[in-house]
């Protein structure tokens, strides 16, 4: 019967891993999938993670089941890190959490929860957004619509259009997916005043914030990268959070994430907690523990936490430095707008103003691997390849 299945198209992001790996040009620059790379192009296990693994190996005496909400220490410590330990979201008892299989698992659980509470809700996503947002959230059956976010030609956020679309067309109870920081794929983040404006608009229209926080610590720093989430959590009775430990703890393949539902009352939070657990049980029964146990070990130990924060900050600073160098190299050649945009954008990604044909050319003629959309992962560049990268980009434009 399986001959009846249709062939699957290559994945826009994961598919690029293989394509880039197959290129043997020593001058290859791989800016495809969103993984952090250090100055020699490696993605090492973070020091604090290695140390936590050693301790876990020594101390763990059982692999028995933990439960459908995953590792409770992880849920508590990671929530405190993200919302702030003394925040009202944490102290009020209004927050229901569960460990998820990566940020993606958290997005799926969050969307399922929204669907259970309000099957008529539409989820609004930015144009553009992470290539897997629509497939992942859409597979809940919820309706998805798009709001304008970024203009690839001007390389700026279309904030007025974003507000107008949501003001005119979103209906009460719809959810708005917002990238907490380091917008994927553009790197263009809302300013503090834009967060306030969008918060006011959503509050007035009774829209539910659904925050995807996958890059905390890699934009402006840990606390600053939670600015939008914390602002919303302070004023909205309800919101949904999907957070990831893939990038900031380098735990990609371990699949560690957190879904959170901030509810109007502690009683509502109990209901949400129950439904998240039930959904988890029906989908995968329970999330895997290894990565979450490592994060919990790090966050429970001040010395390990400090070391993790230092290494995370080094990663962030390296990427900011690469942005500045690429900006300078582009500026020398007169590409002022692109230079300014890339320098100011945050986190791993920027969206180059290139067509799919030009992206193809960058790959086939220059061995510069980026997504068809024009997305580059700046962490894949190196100081010694920056000038060549700027030359290649300008050569195809």
State the catalytic residues. 130, 212, 247
Nearest approach, Cβ of 259 to ligand LMR (angstroms)? 17
Query: Is residue 296 a contact point for ligand LMR (CB under 6 A)?
Result: no
Applying CB under 6 A, the site for ligand LMR has a residue count of 6
Options 20, 29, 33, 269; binder of ligand LMR; rule CB under 6 A: 33
Read off the tokens for 144.
Answer: 């998805």
Site string for ligand LMR, 108-147 (x = CB under 6 A): ----------------------x-x---------------
Q: What angle do CA 321, 178, 121 make, to 5 degrees?
A: 165
Nearest approach, Cβ of 246 to ligand LMR (angstroms)? 7
Site string for ligand LMR, 172-201 (x = CB under 6 A): ------------x-----------------
Give a three-class secondary structure readout of 307-373: HHHHHHHHHHHHHHHHHHHHHHHHHHCCCHHHHHHHHHCCCCEEECCCCHHHHHHHHHHHCEECCCC
d(CA 155, CA 188): 8
In terms of CB distance, is 135 or 274 closer to ligand LMR?
Answer: 135
d(CA 56, CA 36): 25
In terms of CB distance, is 97 or 186 closer to ligand LMR?
Answer: 186
Please give the residue whose beta carbon sits closest to ligand LMR in the complex. 34
Burial class of 272 by CB neighbour count within 10 A (0 to 12, 13 to 18, 19+): buried
d(CA 182, CA 248): 12
**Rg of the chain in Å (alpha carbons):** 21
Q: In the block, which residue shows the tokens 């203009």?
A: 151
Task: Kindly write down the DSSP assignment for every residue of 249-279, as one continuous string.
Answer: S--GGG--EEEEEE-SSHHHHHHHHHHHHHH
Nearest approach, Cβ of 297 to ligand LMR (angstroms)? 24
d(CA 9, CA 271): 39
Nearest approach, Cβ of 310 to ligand LMR (angstroms)? 24
Nearest approach, Cβ of 226 to ligand LMR (angstroms)? 19
Read off the tokens for 9.
Answer: 């198209």
Query: Is residue 36 a contact point for ligand LMR (CB under 6 A)?
Result: no
Options 30, 31, 34, 233; binder of ligand LMR; rule CB under 6 A: 34
Nearest approach, Cβ of 130 to ligand LMR (angstroms)? 5
**Residue ranges in 11-30 that form contacts with ligand LMR under rule CB under 6 A:** 13
Residues contributing to the site for ligand LMR (CB under 6 A): 13, 33-34, 130, 132, 184
């Amino acid at each position: 019967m399986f001959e009846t299945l249709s062939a699957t198209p290559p994945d826009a992001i994961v598919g690029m891993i293989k394509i880039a790996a197959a290129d043997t040009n020593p001058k290859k620059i791989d800016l495809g999938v969103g993984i952090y790379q250090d100055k020699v192009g490696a993605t090492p296990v973070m020091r604090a993670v290695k140390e936590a693994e050693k301790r876990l190996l020594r101390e763990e005496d059982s692999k028995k089941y933990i439960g459908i909400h995953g590792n409770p220490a992880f849920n508590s410590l990671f929530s405190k890190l993200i919302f702030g330990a003394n925040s009202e979201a944490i102290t009020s008892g209004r927050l229901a959490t569960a460990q998820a299989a990566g940020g993606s698992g958290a997005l799926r659980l969050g969307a399922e929860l929204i669907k259970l509470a309000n099957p008529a809700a539409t989820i609004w996503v930015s144009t553009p957004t992470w290539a897997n947002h629509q497939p992942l959230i859409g597979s809940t059956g919820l309706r998805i619509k798009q709001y304008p976010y970024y203009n690839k030609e001007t390389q700026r956020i279309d904030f007025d259009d974003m507000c107008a679309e949501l003001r005119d067309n979103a209906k009460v109870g719809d959810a708005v997916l917002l990238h907490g920081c380091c917008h994927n794929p553009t790197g263009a983040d809302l300013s503090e005043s834009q967060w306030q404006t969008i918060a006011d608009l959503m509050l007035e229209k009774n829209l539910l914030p659904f925050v995807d926080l996958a890059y905390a610590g890699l934009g402006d720093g840990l606390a600053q990268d939670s600015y939008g989430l914390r602002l919303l959590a302070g004023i909205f009775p309800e919101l949904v959070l999907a957070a990831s430990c893939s990038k900031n703890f380098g735990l990609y393949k371990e699949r560690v994430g957190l879904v959170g539902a901030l509810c109007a009352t502690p009683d509502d939070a109990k209901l949400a907690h129950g439904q998240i657990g039930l959904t988890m049980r029906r989908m995968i029964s329970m999330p895997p523990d290894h990565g979450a146990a490592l994060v919990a070990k790090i966050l429970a130990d001040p010395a390990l936490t400090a070391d993790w924060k230092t290494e995370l900050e080094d990663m962030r600073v390296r990427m900011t430095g690469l942005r500045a160098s690429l900006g300078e190299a582009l500026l020398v050649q007169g590409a002022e707008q692109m230079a300014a945009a890339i320098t100011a954008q945050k986190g791993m990604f920027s969206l180059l103003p290139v067509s799919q044909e030009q992206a193809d050319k960058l790959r086939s003629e220059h061995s510069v691997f980026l997504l068809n959309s024009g997305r580059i992962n700046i962490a894949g560049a190196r100081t010694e390849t920056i000038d060549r990268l700027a030359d290649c980009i300008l050569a195809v434009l």
